Structure 1
Amino acid sequence: MKFILKSTIFILSLIIASFFTMQLNSAYAGTSGDYTLKPVESENSKVNVDGGFYSVKGNPGEIVEIKVAVYNFEKDERQFLIQGNTAYTNSDGQPGYDLTKVTDPNLKIQLRDLFSNNKKIVNIPGNSNAVVTLKLKIPSEKYIGYLMGGVNVVPYNEKAKGTVTENGTLIKNKFSYSLPIQLIQTGANTEDVNYKINSVKPQIIDGSSGKQIGVAARVSNTNNAYIPGLSSNAVITKYGNKKFKMTASRDNQSIAPTSHYNYMVSWGKERLQAGKYHIKLTYSGNGVRTWVLDKDFVITDAQAAKYNNLAGIKPNYLWLWILLAILLLALILGLGIYMGKRNNKDNGNNNQLSSNSRRRRRRR
């Protein structure tokens, strides 16, 4: 019986001592474009460039000129593509102006569509510059707040430059520069920002140590308003588990008007587990104003299994092994008790037979 118990404890210890490990790798690179941009004053006083961007204010239907100087620092002549685009919010929480197609449920007027001579290709000699003019029409229809976009400049018909990382990975990037545009109608009413979380879903996040599991909170600004340089803090908790807590914080979050982006919260090396969760996301501007966004969300068993697999995290069957070990232990203990009782019964029967045999011999 003692041998059986010792064997069971030894087997259980081996099962509980089994662990899984995971190895992650990543690479980063950067590049340079060898050119730069500068906003140029226009003869039309309705275009202001004092802040390093274009602040446009005019009457509905009016046409204004947007002028940009492009400086080519290379010795050879180069071609550049210049075009006006609609602002969006990129994955870093910053306005972007390099997409020719931007969609959002709250976006009614595309600033890109207001340019009459968009998408210009210009030749600029080496170590020289050129001034390019785009014509922008202020919308005829009235709107509240202001529209946002930008002038984007990228080398034309040039191959992406490659950079080799420390682990031998080749990364190719094309560099582009942009200058923001803020467009408002004369006499238009201002509008305050309106932030909200549309949804929260599992996501694979490319972190400094490789692929990680996390969630993406789809945050949107539904109004034609913009506040730059916000600080943010996200806290995720799980219903029924007071110990669970995931956090993330970022500075310099600037959500473009009528746009959205994914606010990432990493689980680190933790496995994604099914259940009901809550996210509290707080934005603050200059310590004066704060916006608190709350939303419940659910992670299903299927989602947890899918994204754990995508991140290279193997299923955790430790609970199953522990359960099997407990069942095995119970079986062995039950078998041991049964065998013990059986032995005691057999011994009792043998003693009774021996006693009866002695009685018979005495009668003779």
Structure 2
Amino acid sequence: MLPLLASTLLFPVHTDATAMNFSVNAIIPDNQIDKSKSYFDLRIAPGEEQTVHVTMTNETDKELTVLTSVNTATTNDNGIVDYSQEKPKLDNTLKHPIAEFTESAGEVVIPANSSKDYPIKITMPNEKIDGTILGGIYFKEKNQAKKETQSKEIQIENQYAYVIGMMLSQNDTEIKADLALNDITPTQINYRNVVTANLQNTEATILKDLDVQAEIFKKDGTKVLHEATKNNMRMAPNSNFNFPISWGTDEFKAGKYRMDMIATSGKQVWQWSEYFTIHDDTAKKLNDKALDIEPDYTWLYIVAGSLLALLILLLVFLWGRKSKKKEEE
């Protein structure tokens, strides 16, 4: 778990400034689109170069070393825009990751009780680009002490970092978001069986207020087997994430299934009805590793019921033979 510190509601993340030994502050330049914002929201022409600055302040009596990077925005599997990954797996529709045309130091030493300027050079691509290029300037103290919390099955390491958002554009052209449904996959999260549906924002714009509802049926069934709903998600431009549908305490059963999904963002609506298969070997492999599942004993009940029926028939037969023998005597 990696709580981050951010400067605005556009980058909604958990904050805990008391855990930090330093602070950061963006120096807003003249080409800022909205000067009331404390993150970078810049209009830069094709091929133009610009250097922006962040002031880093060491608030301790000891020298600090801070690790820094400009990270391309992605979307994590909780439906939250993520700026923490220095080398993320990028979506195949992303043509201009912000990390490829920014230059900055990867490590900054700040003397005790002092401030230091941190410059980031931006070189805009030469071609015309419509839409938003999104990322975040990420700051984390080197050799930061890690705080651990532990549950029965999961150990979590808490580290703290700052992120200052960086949003770049070349023009005012409005881009309409579009959402695609890709692979539907049986898998596990924290050793619990889930089916994930990969959702992809294929356009260079932030997809806001995303609500998703999914239901899973047998291939031609009408009874809902499993369902999931999540509201108020947000996706980075040209990114994807895996939306999970929990299988609860049920084992995976091999077979063909159907997933009906509806997604909405404002007035935009997307609907899908897609088939997928859980194969025998996949079901067995995942069930063997899963926690908290309740085995399906239906087959055992069927066998037990059949044996009971045979026993009753045998008793009736034997009773009939005995009665017939008495009549003959």
Normalization by structure 1: what TM-score? 0.75
Q: 1:162 to 1:169 in 2, by over 3 A?
A: farther
Percent pairwise identity: 22
Q: 1:163 to 1:325 in 2, by over 3 A?
A: closer
Q: 1:295 to 1:177 in 2, by over 3 A?
A: farther
Q: 1:33 to 1:216 in 2, by over 3 A?
A: farther
Number of aligned residue pairs: give it.
Answer: 312
Secondary structure of the 2:61 match is coil
Aligned to 1:107: 94
Asked if the contact 2:32–2:43 (Cα under 8 Å) also holds between the matched residues in 1, the reply is yes
Instruction: Quote how far apart the aligned CAs of 1:344 are.
Output: 4.2
Deviation per CA, 1:152-205: give whole Å up to 9, x if none.
Answer: 11223x14412344779864333222112121124x633211111112212323
Instruction: Quote how far apart the aligned CAs of 1:232 are.
Output: 1.4
Deviation per CA, 1:114-172: give whole Å up to 9, x if none.
Answer: 01x3333221123433221111011102222121112111223x144123447798643
Secondary structure of the 1:243 match is coil
Q: What pairs with 1:254-333 in structure 2 (closer than 5 Å)? A: 254-274=234-254, 275-285=256-266, 289-302=267-280, 303-313=282-292, 316-333=295-312
Aligned to 1:17: none
Amino acid at match of 2:199: V
For 2:231 and 2:63, locate their aligned partners in 1 and report how far apart those are by CA, in whole Å.
Answer: 40
Aligned to 2:111: 125
Aligned to 2:67: 81
For 1:301 and 1:342, locate their aligned partners in 2 and report how far apart those are by CA, in whole Å.
Answer: 50
Deviation per CA, 1:214-269: give whole Å up to 9, x if none.
Answer: 222211101111133x1413131314443325343334311000111112222333
Greater percentage in helix: 1
Deviation per CA, 1:266-294: give whole Å up to 9, x if none.
Answer: 23334434431213132333xxx233232
Aligned to 2:7: none
For 1:255 and 1:98, locate their aligned partners in 2 and report how far apart those are by CA, in whole Å.
Answer: 15
For 1:236 and 1:58, locate their aligned partners in 2 and report how far apart those are by CA, in whole Å.
Answer: 44
Aligned to 2:40: 54
For 1:66 and 1:28, locate their aligned partners in 2 and report how far apart those are by CA, in whole Å.
Answer: 26
Amino acid at match of 2:189: I
Instruction: Quote how far apart the aligned CAs of 1:325 are.
Output: 1.9
Instruction: Quote how far apart the aligned CAs of 1:100 are.
Output: 2.3
Asked if the contact 1:222–1:257 (Cα under 8 Å) also holds between the matched residues in 2, the reply is yes
Aligned to 1:194: 178
Amino acid at match of 1:119: A
Q: CA RMSD in A?
A: 3.0
Asked if the contact 2:2–2:159 (Cα under 8 Å) also holds between the matched residues in 1, the reply is no
Which shows bigger deviation, 140-149 or 168-177? Answer: 168-177
- Where structure 2 has 5 or more consecutive residues not aligned to the other structure, the ranges are 4-13
Secondary structure of the 2:321 match is helix
For 1:59 and 1:290, locate their aligned partners in 2 and report how far apart those are by CA, in whole Å.
Answer: 31
Asked if the contact 1:273–1:299 (Cα under 8 Å) also holds between the matched residues in 2, the reply is no
Normalization by structure 2: what TM-score? 0.82
Larger Rg computed on CA atoms: 1
Aligned to 2:8: none
- Where structure 1 has 5 or more consecutive residues not aligned to the other structure, the ranges are 1-26, 352-364
Instruction: Quote how far apart the aligned CAs of 1:300 are.
Output: 1.4
Q: 1:257 to 1:73 in 2, by over 3 A?
A: same
Instruction: Quote how far apart the aligned CAs of 1:79 are.
Output: 0.9
Give 2:148's match in structure 1, choosing from 163, 168, 177. Answer: 163
Secondary structure of the 1:326 match is helix
Which shows bigger deviation, 252-261 or 73-82? Answer: 73-82
Amino acid at match of 1:39: A
